[in-house]
Amino acid sequence: MAGARPIAMVGVDKDLIDLIQELPDWDLAGVFDSHPAADALGVPHLGGDDAWAEIRAARPDLGIVISIDPTGLKSKLLAHYGRDALRTVVALDGYVARSATLGPGCIVQRGARVLPDAVLGQSVKLNVGATIHHDGRIGDCVTLAPGCQILGAVTLEDRVYVGAGAIVLPRITVGKGATVGAGAVVASDVPEGMTVVGVPARPLERRRKREPHP
């Protein structure tokens, strides 16, 4: 594996392990995870997050990619591991337009696409087949689940999560920390922190817990 650079994952994501192992640019050194027993397809467990400082001191060339999906936790881990350590991983069949800009620590999974003039912050994950169309403005620590479509000139602010197969229509803004449920079609702006589901997407109203029968 001449020329391959060492990288470690934060959190176990089997799809990402499978991707990194396929790429000639990277040599997957292991996984940081608070659960040592997590099934990581045989990839070595390097320790919990607290193991990072010592390992980094011993191996200053070791980069990381934060693979976990929950966006608030991803943001905290980014502060812990440090921006300088972040590496960007792009699948061989992932597409990043020449005019698009990716921050450090992004993941472009198989079949995912970042189209012209899109601008992505740090630690943005496009899972398998997700697409950010032209002129997208994507903040830090955003997670896009498989197959979602972020259409032209959409803004996703920091820590937005978009569920599998969801569609965000052109020029919509989704506010910080908001969640779009799987399969939703977002046709109007989503306020900060809100969860929306359905077609067209509406705020998630949780059913009140029913009292047990007397």
Ligand X SMILES: CC(C)(COP(=O)(O)OP(=O)(O)OC[C@H]1O[C@@H](n2cnc3c(N)ncnc32)[C@H](O)[C@@H]1OP(=O)(O)O)[C@@H](O)C(=O)NCCC(=O)NCCS
Report, as residue numbers or ranges, the catalytic residues. 134
Question: Does 208 contact ligand X by CB under 6 A?
Answer: no
Question: Does 187 contact ligand X by CB under 6 A?
Answer: no
Closer by beta carbon to ligand X, 98 or else 207? 207
Which residues from 151-170 bind ligand X, rule CB under 6 A?
163-164
Which amino acid type is present at position 86? Answer: L
Answer for which of 97, 182, 187, 194 binds ligand X (CB under 6 A) is 182
Of 53-61, 72-80, 109-117, 176-184, the segment contacting ligand X by CB under 6 A is 176-184
Residues in the chain: 214
| CA distance linking residue 177 with residue 175, whole number of Å | 6
Question: Does 63 contact ligand X by CB under 6 A?
Answer: no
Q: What x/- string results for residues 114 through 153 when contact with ligand X is judged by CB under 6 A? A: -------------x-----------------xx-------
Contact 159, 194 (CB under 8 A): no
| CA distance linking residue 150 with residue 160, whole number of Å | 12
| CA distance linking residue 104 with residue 11, whole number of Å | 17
Answer for which of 207, 209, 210, 213 binds ligand X (CB under 6 A) is 207
Long-range contacts of 32-35 (CB under 8 A, 24+ apart): 32/8, 32/64
Strand partners, 95: 113
Which residues from 15-34 bind ligand X, rule CB under 6 A?
none
Contact 195, 181 (CB under 8 A): yes
Closer by beta carbon to ligand X, 63 or else 129? 129
Question: Does 194 contact ligand X by CB under 6 A?
Answer: no
Task: Burial-class residue 73 by CB neighbours within 10 Å (0-12, 13-18, 19+).
Answer: middle
What does the binding site for ligand X look like in residue numbers (CB under 6 A)?
127, 145-146, 163-164, 179, 181-183, 195, 197-198, 204, 206-207
